Structure 1
Amino acid sequence: MSDELTAKLDRIPDPKTGKGLQAAGRLDGVAVRNGVATIVLKVEPDEAIDRLKADIESAAREVDEVDRVQIITTLQRPAGGGRDKAAPRQASAAAPRPARQIIAVAAGKGGVGKSTVAANLAAALAKAGQRVAVLDADIHGPSIPRLFGLRDIKGLRKTDTGIEPADAHGVRVVSMGFLTKPGQPVVWRGPMIQGAIQQFLNETYWGDPDVLIIDMPPGTGDAQLAIAQTVSIDGAVIACTPQDLALDDARKAIAMFEKTHTPILGLIENMSVFLCPHCGEPSEIFGHGGTRAEAEAIGVPFLGEIPLTIELRERSDTGRPVAFDDGPVADAFARAAMAMLDSAREARKPAPEIVFSS
């Protein structure tokens, strides 16, 4: 089906060269899955593409298996650009900044509770009176809709002001999970992932939040690179468990942010201890203190320890982050969120000026 769709798209002339879109190198990805045609189209800055997008949608609907068409645009690099792919791209001066502060929550591996940490940091900030938004950039495994009780959202509405986020407990949320059916995998190549994240960042009407939390996918790959190349991040928080295995992968995430010149705001130790629901006795299931020791060893702030409780699991499943409530876990997230903001303020301070006397 993808080959058939590509052939139809290649009959559409590129407005600049007159060649077919495929021959002109304008197609960065074409896929048809579960009735949805996804086309990644390279565009140039300020290029008018409304007519071109209409022609693409019309051609895609000629394929029998296509019920819906989504077109993702990516910025076409200038010829001979030769940039280092690892270096962050400076955001265009004309592009509005999505939020006053942009903070990424990341992890070197899956299974450490990164999305739970991201959601609850956002909830803690909202509870403290901050205007908060969350971008779920985990394209392959979006968890934010469940964590915020937004699993019934079907699609994202786009108006003249941009993509409209969903609202959960006063937090504005955008997620790939709103665009897929439950249990449906997102099988995309790198350019499609990059294009989707860039559109979410640049075309969403965020409403000028104080803080935008980006829930990063685990590991280091196309999504992380797309974010680093699209927007200037104020800093990254690394979520980790006390295990040595998790710490090994956390170091990889830290190295990735260092390569993209993103400050590390600190480390959070998730599942630090398990608090018994009956007696309150802590049990160090995954060990304890490893993340604090790692933060001290590499010279970055340690933002706090988050205990594992039945309440945290229940609130995550029901879609109301525990940080909105009261109790030891909520207090732990509140302290971590404030420490994160303090670290972000320190990261933005200019370097001291050295004055030599004559």
Structure 2
Amino acid sequence: MSASQQDYRLSDDLLAPVLAILDAYQDPYLQKGLVSAGCVSKLDIEGKQLKLGLVYPYPCQTQYRDTVMAVTKKLAVLDAIDEVECEIDFQPANFSVVPGAQAIPNVKQVIAVASGKGGVGKSTTSVNLALALAAEGAKVGILDADIYGPSIPLMLGVSKFVPESPDGKHMTAATNHGITAQSIGFMLIDDEAAVWRGPMAAGALTQLINETLWPELDYLVIDMPPGTGDIQLTLSQKVPVSGAVIVTTPQDIALADAQKGISMFNKVKIPVLGVVENMSYHECQSCGHKEHPFGSDGGAKIAERYQVPLLGALPLKLSIREGADNGAPSVVSQPESNEAATYREIARKVGAQLALSEVQSGVSISVSEDE
């Protein structure tokens, strides 16, 4: 946050200790103090009531209450403050690391969700990540880039949606569960298959991205097809991607393919935001014992090797599959479950990693003020 966006109206003798206390409070995801992270936007005082404004660069709405309580407790040691009134907002930057890529109208950041092979739960992760970002306060869209096996329409319960073209040039997108969705599946008839060569599929993808009437979005999550072929290369070169999430299972073969995915993104200089490990364990419903049918700690080892975060580990659980098949994924169908909490944690980590990537990349960024 630039100095021009900071509104500090405290006397010097009060400003210094307040800033010191706020900067001593470490944000768990940015791993910086609130001042150093640029989150403190407003400081004012009326009588003994401190008016504090915070603006986060990543969505964390479910954490606001705990943050306010923790900060208020710390500030209460100052004699000049008896009460804290805190307003918290979320404001991501417009951000891309792909040089020369055409911006997508109304879209601030693009997150690619990829896997080296199929069958690891990539689409389930994409949908739940999108829904979790929305649950944390972001405006979110999802694009089904799996041209040959689109599954997002079914998972979001919008398989009957048919896009319209109000101007003959652009197409509408579906909405459900508070997010916007586009998929090649909306254009196929019943079980019709998309039988295209790689360049044709890549062309269809760029059309879907650029010709969709996206609403204002903080994040566009792209559910990539498995592998490292034409579509992935097209995305990395022509789409303003901000970062990538790699999905794997603990199996050795899945881990080997996940490494290829990380290597591909590294080569095209797209930040890998972290690794999600699906089917990490199975928990016995009777006794709570955890078994690891596909191996253990594989995702953590890959994350450590490539020096990226392990964003989260999801269990092998029937309800996750059933929710996706029924058009109501875990984040919306079982919001109080451990799985939904894990997806929200992953969403906060992804948002924070993007915010850190903005700073580390050295690219110029712009922040859109809410009206």
Q: So what's the TM-score if we normalise by structure 1?
A: 0.70
User: How far, CA to CA, are the matches of 1:294 and 1:98 in structure 2?
Assistant: 35
Report the residue type matching 2:340 in the other structure: A
| Residue 131 (str. 1) matches residue 139 (str. 2) | yes
Aligned to 1:3: none
User: How far, CA to CA, are the matches of 1:273 and 1:159 in structure 2?
Assistant: 48
User: How far, CA to CA, are the matches of 2:358 and 2:225 in structure 1?
Assistant: 25
- SS of match in other structure, 2:303: helix
Structure 1 residues 157-192: Cα deviation after superposition (integer angstroms, max 9, x where no partner):
122383211011111000011111232211101222
- SS of match in other structure, 1:102: strand
Aligned to 1:199: 207
| Residue 303 (str. 1) matches residue 308 (str. 2) | no
| Residue 265 (str. 1) matches residue 273 (str. 2) | yes
Q: How does 1:159-308 map to 2 (within 5 A)?
A: 159-160=166-167, 162-308=170-316
Maintained 8 Å contact 1:220/1:253: yes
Aligned to 1:156: 163
1:88 to partner: Cα distance: 5.9
Count the aligned residue pairs. 263
1:302 to partner: Cα distance: 1.1
Aligned to 2:115: 107
User: How far, CA to CA, are the matches of 1:201 and 1:255 in structure 2?
Assistant: 25
- SS of match in other structure, 1:162: coil
Q: Quickly say closer, same or farther: Cα 1:275–1:192, change in 2 above 3 A.
A: same
| Residue 341 (str. 1) matches residue 348 (str. 2) | no
Maintained 8 Å contact 2:104/2:209: no
- SS of match in other structure, 2:222: strand
1:265 to partner: Cα distance: 0.4
Query: Which stretches in structure 2 are left out of the alignment for 5+ residues?
Result: 1-96, 363-371
Structure 1 residues 76-131: Cα deviation after superposition (integer angstroms, max 9, x where no partner):
xxxxxxxxxxx966224xx5445111100000000100000000001111112211
- SS of match in other structure, 2:346: helix
Report the residue type matching 2:129 in the other structure: L
Maintained 8 Å contact 1:98/1:202: no
User: How far, CA to CA, are the matches of 2:114 and 2:173 in structure 1?
Assistant: 22
User: How far, CA to CA, are the matches of 1:322 and 1:295 in structure 2?
Assistant: 25
Report the residue type matching 1:335 in the other structure: E
Q: So what's the TM-score if we normalise by structure 2?
A: 0.68
Structure 1 residues 332-358: Cα deviation after superposition (integer angstroms, max 9, x where no partner):
111111111111111111468xxxxxx
Q: Quickly say closer, same or farther: Cα 1:246–1:180, change in 2 above 3 A.
A: same
- SS of match in other structure, 2:313: strand
Maintained 8 Å contact 2:98/2:241: no
User: How far, CA to CA, are the matches of 2:155 and 2:294 in structure 1?
Assistant: 23
| Residue 140 of structure 1, aligned match among 142, 148, 163 | 148
- SS of match in other structure, 1:110: coil
User: How far, CA to CA, are the matches of 1:250 and 1:205 in structure 2?
Assistant: 33
Aligned to 1:28: none
1:277 to partner: Cα distance: 3.8
Shifted more, 95-104 versus 243-252: the winner is 95-104
Report the residue type matching 2:351 in the other structure: L
Q: Quickly say closer, same or farther: Cα 1:341–1:200, change in 2 above 3 A.
A: same
Query: Which stretches in structure 1 are left out of the alignment for 5+ residues?
Result: 1-86, 353-358
Maintained 8 Å contact 1:322/1:329: yes
1:204 to partner: Cα distance: 1.1
Aligned CA RMSD, in angstroms, stands at 1.8
Maintained 8 Å contact 2:184/2:208: no
Maintained 8 Å contact 2:245/2:275: yes
Fraction of identical pairs, as percent: 44
Q: Quickly say closer, same or farther: Cα 1:141–1:253, change in 2 above 3 A.
A: same
| Residue 320 (str. 1) matches residue 328 (str. 2) | yes
